[in-house]
Amino acid sequence: MQSNASNATRQKGKGWFVNECGVIYVQGSINGKFVRKSTGMKSTSGNITYIKKNYRDVLLNIINENKVTTGTSFEEFGRKVIEDGAKKVVNGRESKRGRGELAQRDALSKFDNYLLPFFREYALDEIKAMHIETWLVGILRHKSTSTANKCKNLLNEIMHKACGNDIIVKNPVEYVEKIEVEYEKQQAYSIGDTLKMMRESNGWMHTYLNLAFTTGMRTGELLALMWEDVDWEYSCIYLKRSVSKGRIRIGSTGKKNHYRIVPILPEVLKILKSAHENNAKSKWIFPNQKDSFYKESKDVVKYHFKPLLKKLKIAYISLYATRHTFATIADNARVDSATLDKMIGNSEKVRQDHYVTFAMTKERAEEAQSNLTPVNNILFSNMKVETK
């Protein structure tokens, strides 16, 4: 059986119609411009009879009495929507919904630099799908598909809110073709270069690289590690946080799962134990000179990683490439995909089904070590562990 609201969508006449929510709209040409406005009236038989006779007068009254709806500027309304999208702070606690400080700053920047230059002179009800497509083509000439998609999402947020406030009848962004995001394939270090770095590095960079190349952890996750995260009995690390843009982020955000268990190979665990003995006073595994965490990886790259690569005559790709290197070695060594998903933390299903309890057991520890045997054999075959 169809609802009354669904049946109401079929009702329309000269100068009026009923939308899918059962609300009556009036429309017509005013001073050469087509205008369509919500009356706010439900589609009862009495209201429809009244609108049939008086749709023109009702439309003129709405325009005269509600100027904010007619020709609402994109700039004013759009900025308010973006500003309202930030996380709210109530009694000193930040809400779960909304954009965080850095994301909000990025959203406002994109609004000012990409949305406003094109749509500033438009009223909200003047923006059509063809205008949006022209705008996106312009962005794609100079920026990535990822940037274009983020800008489109912001515009969709604005137009969706305008639709919900009866400023426009339908959201034109919904009629624009989807942008397929294209990602460049990340490079990896060769096994030969990887072994050089793992063996010839010194100090905590030696610990860092051995851990990075054998776990696939993100750079920000590694820099946020504390000694309390290491489970010496079960040879694993409880990953709980990450460094992002100068700040510690706790847990998982968006698509990145920063809250998981990462098994550690036996040889790397020995290196960690030696590093802990030499650095037991600091709570951080990779402390900076002020005994705090590195706020940005560029300092690690500049003062530790690039000098090592120069010494070893290895071409620089990126510090983050240690993650891709691990994934490449493990995949080529036929480590099963489930194990990789758990370690790398890029599977939505694993986040929901496996890490709810966030606990390690003897059985899980043994299984993880067994599954990683191919990686261990490649990186540590016929080699005694050196602790530096």
237 by DSSP, 3-state: which? strand
116-141 as b/e: b if 16+ CB within 10 A: eebbeebbbbebeeeebeebbeebee
- Is the pLDDT reported for residue 2 higher than 60? no
Rounded Cα–Cα distance for residues 172 and 129 (Å): 5
pTM flag (> 0.75): no
The contacts of residue 382 (CB under 8 Å, 6+ apart) are none
pLDDT exceeds cutoff 90 at 358: no
Q: Where are the beta strands (DSSP E) in the chain?
A: 12-13, 16-18, 23-30, 33-42, 89-90, 93-94, 230-231, 236-239, 241-244, 247-250, 260-263
Radius of gyration of the chain (CA): 29
Q: Are 43 and 24 in contact (CB under 8 A)?
A: yes
What CA–CA distance (Å, rounded) separates 377 from 335? 12
Q: What is the pLDDT of residues 186-243, one digit of tens each?
A: 788 999 999 999 999 999 999 999 999 999 999 999 999 999 999 999 999 999 888 8
* 254 vs 274: CA distance, rounded Å: 35
Residue 74 exposure: Cα atoms within 13 Å on the Cβ side: 21
- Ramachandran assignment for 31, one of left (phi > 0), alpha (psi -120 to 50 degrees), beta (any other): left
**What whole-number distance in Å separates Cα of residue 298 and Cα of residue 200?**
21
**C-alpha distances out from residue 181 to 143, 148, 254, Å:** 12, 9, 17
Assess whether pLDDT exceeds 80 at residue 376: yes
How do beta strands 230-231 and 241-244 pair?
unpaired
C-alpha to C-alpha distance for 62 and 27, rounded to whole angstroms: 11
What digits encode the pLDDT tens for the residues 97-139?
Answer: 788 777 899 999 999 999 999 998 888 988 999 899 989 988 9
- pLDDT tens, residue by residue, 259-272: 789 999 999 999 99
Domains, the chain, with CATH or none: 4-65 (no CATH), 74-175 (1.10.150.130), 191-380 (1.10.443.10)
Q: Is 9 exposed, middle or buried (0-12, 13-18, 19+ CB in 10 A)?
A: middle
